[in-house]
Structure 1
Amino acid sequence: MSLADWTVLPGVGPKLAERIEKDRQKNGDFGSLEALQRVKGIGPKRINSWKFFFE
């Protein structure tokens, strides 16, 4: 996903999208939706709200 793609998800603004992208570049692909929790500001509630978009 691109930086712009992340901002379409509920609760993701430009700053969080940038943190997601920087983490992905540094640590590699996430492999699962739950793996996004390694990014500061993303927890189980946010992951749960995004599951609909990744089905």
Structure 2
Amino acid sequence: TYKAVQRSANVVSVGPMLQGLRKPVNDLSRGALVEDIVFTIALTAVQAKQVEDAGAA
């Protein structure tokens, strides 16, 4: 899986990202590390800001 590659290669990977919904939603596995949670929160915040900005336009 991509998480095995992430950990063995010591790189950052974020996902899965759910697309096509009105509001941003992302998924965390039960085995998520703190780093995974922080990156997912940041990604969701960026997505939410994009939705907010698109609604204001």
The answer, yes or no, to whether TM exceeds 0.5 is no
Which has the greater radius of gyration?
2
TM value normalised by structure 2: 0.31
Which is bigger in relative contact order (C-alpha 8 A, separation at least 6)? 1
Name the structure where strand makes up a greater proportion of residues.
2
Query: What is the TM-score normalised by the length of structure 1?
Result: 0.32
